[in-house]
Each structure stands twice: as C-alpha cells, then as structure tokens.
Amino acid sequence: MKRFALLVLLSVMILCTLGAQDYFFEHIDIAIEVGLDNSYHIEERIVANFSTPRHGIYREIPVKFGKVRTTVEDLKSSEPITRDSVSPDWVTFRLGSADRTVSGLKEYRLSYTYHIGDDRTSEWDEFYYNLLGDGWQAPIKEFVFAVTFPKAVDPSMVFLTGGAYGSTSQRGEYSISDDGRTITGAAQNLSSGEAVTLRVQMEEGYFSEVVPFVDRTIPFSIAALIGAAAMVAHALLLFTRYGREEVFVPVVRYDAPSGLSPLEVGYLADGVVDNKDLTSMLFHWADGGYLTIEEQGKKQFLFTKERDLKTAKAHERKLFEDFFAAGDGTTVTLKQLEKGTFAEAMTKVKDLVRAYFKGERRLTDPVAERKRTFALLYGAISAIVLAVASTIVEAEGELVLLAGIGLFSFGVALLFAHRITQTWLVGSKFKRFIKYVAIGILLVFLLVIALTIHAGLLERGPLYSLIMALAQVGAPFLLGVLTIVTAKRSAYAQQQLEEIAGYMEFIKAVEKPRLKLMVETDPQLFYHVLGYAIVLGLESVWAKKFKGIAIEQASWYIGSRPAANALFYSALSTRLHAGVMERAVYSQAKGGSRSPIRSSFGSSGFSGGGFGGGGGGAW
C-alpha cells in the first residue's frame, strides 16, 4: 500500500513538472569545423516543440573563459535575429519575431564563427568546448554533433563528458572517423541544465596558424611605474622650488594682530569660518561698547544694541546687522535667532570673509598656486594610468576598481593634507596624531584591497601585486599631499600668521607678575583679549591666568548677580557658543567654509567546463 502511494505521488510530481514545461527541444544538431587558427565555424539546427504559442527561441553564448576572451563573428540565422545587451561576457540574441507567435514544431538554423585564438597555454593545444551548454532551459529529446578537425587527433586524448555542471561521467556515445579527423556522437533525453562537453588534447603547435598572444602587462606596468615616479619627482621639485614656506619664527607680542578682528584671526589661523569665530564677535562687540548681553534665565539671553557698528568691513557689518535683524532691530533673543533667517545670513558672511582676503590681502602665492596644478593633474593621471597598465589584458571591472582605489587615495590625501596644513597653528597635537593613525589605517586597507584584486582577480604574482598595489595607493596619495603643500602662503599671510602666533604665545605663556602689571594699567585687559582667545581655542587657558588676579565686572554683562571672575566669562563663551551660534546656525553652518589655503594535461575535463556552449530557451 505504501509503495502504491509512493508511485502515485511520484507520478503526480512528474505530470506536474511536464505540465509546467510548455515547450521542449525535439532535436539539436551541431556541426563544428575547427580551423588551424583555433577558430570554430559552427552550424546549429534546433527543432523546438511549442505546446503553447511562443515568439521563438533565444541563445546565450559565453565569450569569456578565465583570462581568455573569445569572439562570435558572422552570426547568421534562418530567422530574424535580435541582439540583446546583457553582459560583455555573453553574446545574447533572440530568434523569431515579436509580432508573431509559433506553435508546434519549429526549426531554427544558425551559424557563426567562434574565435578563441591563443589559449595562453604553452604546454599543449586542445579543443575544449561545450557542445551543449548547461544553460538550456528545457529538456532535449535528441542531441547530435559532428566535429571536424584540420588534422588527425589522438583517439586516446578524446573525452566526452556530460550531465550537471562539474560532472566527469560520459554522457552519450561518440565515434572517430578512420582518418582521425572527425568525431561524431549523440545523446538522448537530456534534462534542462545538463551539458555535453568534448575535450580533445593535442601536442603544442597543433594550431599552427594561431597568432601568439603577447602579454604586455609587465612592460606597460614598468612604463606606468616610471611615469608615476616621474610625476611624483616633478611635483616634488615644484614644491621644493615654489612651495617651501619662509622660516617661521614667531615673536611674542602683547597686542592683537593689527587691523584684524577675532573673526578674521580665526579664519587665518585654521582656514575656516566656523561658528566659534562668529561667537567671538559677540564678546568683541560687547568689549567695544556695541552691545550688552543680559542673562534672563537658564539658556535665555537678551542682546541689546547700544550703538551702530562703525566699520568699513562688509562681513562685520553684515554679521552685526543681520544678528539684530533677527529681532526687532535693537534687541534679539535666542528664540528669535533660532526661528529667523540668521542662519541663511551666515552663509553670506562667510563668502564676504573669503572675498575680503583677495587682491593685496590674498593668502596664497600666485606662482605657487599655478605650479601646484601639475600635482593636481598628475594625481588623477597616475591613478588611471597605473590601473590601465595593470589590466591591459582584461580592461573590465578590475580596471574600474583599481582606478577607483587610486582616485580615492588621491581625494583622501587632498582632504587630509588640507586640514593638517590649515590647523597646524591652533590644532591639538593629540588630534593630529589621531588623524595620522586613521589615515595610516585607511591606506593599509586600500593596499589590501589592491593586493587582493591583483593576486586574486587578476592572478598576478606576489611581487608584481605588491609593487603595483603600493604604486596605485601611494603615488596618488603623495601627489595629493604635494598638491596641497605646494600652495605657499603669500607675504601678507606670512606676516599676519607670525603676528597671530606671537599673540598666541602671549596668551599661553604670559607670567602672572607681568599680567598683574598689565591689568593695573588696563583693567579691561581680560575682556579685550577674550574674543581672540576664543577663536584660538585658548579661552580657558586665558581665564586660568587670572586666578588670584582681581578683574572688574564686565560693563556689558547683565545677570542676576555680579560676576567679576575670569572663569565665569570663559564658561559664558562656551554657553553662548552652544546656545546661540550652534543652535541658531547648526543646520547650515556647522561644517564651516574652508579657505584657499588552469586544468592539467591528460584529464578528461568536466561537463560545462569548456569554451562556448551557453544555453537557450523560449521567449
């Protein structure tokens, strides 16, 4: 009873499978004539049986096998051919017409030349071809083939395999003609996905008319390496001649840089107009008597304009006017700053700051600026040239990957060098160290990826892979760094930075006795310096200098209790920065605006393991 039930179940499954297949191939006949140049003229006769109307059939023929790329030429058919662009590794086309359908038996004939050429193997020649690929989507009732060679072959070196992909069992029968030149065979009742592969091995030189393949990867790679080295050397020479900065020896100065507001000092010091630079101006204006700051409650501030700002600098006027325009023109609160258009105005202010440092106040040397264009071009060129040389045989996906690695390394170098050079004066040594470590880890990661592509995908030797990977990551990175450091400071920028560095030394290193004397002469000294200390990141350092030194309460600060403590105003700057500028302009200004500165001989092969074949189905 159980056996009967099992038979019924199997029968149902078979019927369901047959019912789901609305077509099959009655007969496939393939005739191949092999040429001495290792090209195959192929004629196929395919008889399809459609139980439901279909437009016709389609064929898929692979044209890449390992490192060898083949071609399909002179494609002809008894039916209209529609070529489909699916993949560069396949030739895909349809036979039939989209305007009509066919039912029942339908014969299709097609012919083409499959050109392999040099098989890149120096130990033997072979015919290793999938007579029937594993990509056929329907059963094949009968398969017949005939392969004719230009010269006799050794019968002991003929192997016919078939079945699912990877099978080494013989599928079907074959025979060899008396002259040893023609192999014929047949197989019946093949399921979809089954392949039939013929492998015939010959001595090296059988294909006497093959044009030898010349791998130009090594000479092209050597040329590319020399070219990349020359580009790095030239960029380095340009840096040495035009990009070296003047000797920088700051002298301690007790006055703020002449003619510069804290906003401008912040921009010159780190190359960015950021929100902290804008915050510093509140204290600078308050110290100048232009506004008062009233603390009305936790995170509640009222700013009152005492008089109009007198300055010829457009960016300062814009910042001051738009600050109070967020309120009623005379007063403004934190909530009004958050809801108004102050954030949009900050973008314009940053543009005006950059515009201010043009002409006679330009920050870079024009000659050095022009010369660094070479390094910029070299960085992109080296990344592409090295990638092309590495993949000259297979200029496909590996080319894109390697070029992308080189260009990414170049871009990272531009960003990294820009930030390091812009923050050398005010940046933290620990933060710089962290950046160096991070960039080192990233470069090692890129090197590992490049090595994997060379050794794994391109199957190159370890020494070649290491040299090219180092070049493809290292050369663009070096050129990116040289692009940035060749941008030499102008004489104006050199002078201003020397003054800023000297003023920083005063803020950091002034001794308490001297500071006491200075306060006696100028009781408001702490407030005069505070705005500059904020943009230089020294507000806490400056405040701690006043431990034990009495200062007057700021005339511009109104609070619930008197405040005559330097640390209080240092903390106030932090609170105003977080509560006003960051909250008011966070969405548009938090980033700031940066300044210009193979198989073995004698094996049988396996089903589906040869050239050609592919598959087909109905459409």
Bridge partners (DSSP) listed for residue 93: 59, 83
Burial code (b: 16+ CB inside 10 Å, e: under 16) for 88-102 equals eebbbbbbbeeeeeb
E strands of 334-401, at which residues?
Answer: none
Per the domain annotation, does 534 fall within a domain?
Answer: yes
**Are 82 and 195 in a shared domain?**
yes
Q: Please, which residues have CB within 8 angstroms of residue 491's CB and are 6 or more apart in sequence?
A: none
Contact 202, 142 (CB under 8 A): no
Return the pLDDT at 217: 87
- Per residue, the 3-state secondary structure of 328-341, as one string, reads CCCEEEHHHHHHCC
* H or E, element range at 444: helix 429-452
Round the CA-based radius of gyration of the chain to a whole number and report it: 39
**Are 199 and 117 in a shared domain?**
yes
**Are 48 and 182 in a shared domain?**
yes
Q: Which parts of the chain sit beneath pLDDT 70?
A: 1-20, 66-67, 247-249, 340, 394-396, 422-428, 562, 579-612
**Are 144 and 189 in a shared domain?**
yes
**Are 372 and 360 in a shared domain?**
no
Domain's final residue, options 460, 485, 510: 485
Q: Which domain holds residue 406?
A: 217-243+366-485
Per the domain annotation, does 615 fall within a domain?
Answer: no
Contact 179, 170 (CB under 8 A): no
Q: Among all chains, which residue has been given the structure tokens 């050609």? A: 612
Return the pLDDT at 7: 46
Domain with residue 64: its CATH number is: 2.60.40
Contact 545, 570 (CB under 8 A): no
**Are 60 and 127 in a shared domain?**
yes
Name the domain count of the chain.
3
Domain's final residue, options 432, 455, 485: 485
**Are 273 and 167 in a shared domain?**
no
Per the domain annotation, does 303 fall within a domain?
Answer: yes
Contact 500, 269 (CB under 8 A): yes
Contact 125, 86 (CB under 8 A): no
**Are 473 and 508 in a shared domain?**
no
Return the pLDDT at 525: 93
Supply 579's token pair.
């509560």
**Are 186 and 120 in a shared domain?**
yes
Per the domain annotation, does 608 fall within a domain?
Answer: no
**Are 352 and 383 in a shared domain?**
no
Q: For residues 394 and 552, what is the distance between their CA atoms, to the nearest angstrom?
A: 77
Helix (H, G, I), strand (E, B) or coil at 529: helix
Domain's final residue, options 453, 485, 517: 485
Contact 406, 476 (CB under 8 A): yes
Per the domain annotation, does 455 fall within a domain?
Answer: yes
Per the domain annotation, does 511 fall within a domain?
Answer: yes
Return the pLDDT at 574: 82
Helix (H, G, I), strand (E, B) or coil at 473: helix
Return the pLDDT at 124: 85
Contact 597, 34 (CB under 8 A): no
Phi, psi of 498 (to 5 degrees): -60, -40
What is the strand order of the sheet 81-84 is part of? 81-84, 90-96, 56-62, 615-618, 135-136
Helix (H, G, I), strand (E, B) or coil at 154: coil
Per the domain annotation, does 3 fall within a domain?
Answer: no
Supply 46's token pair.
């395919």
Return the pLDDT at 326: 87
**Are 322 and 372 in a shared domain?**
no
**Are 278 and 153 in a shared domain?**
no
Per the domain annotation, does 507 fall within a domain?
Answer: yes
Helices (DSSP H) in 486-594: which residue ranges?
491-509, 512-521, 525-535, 539-544, 566-576, 583-589
Return the pLDDT at 119: 76
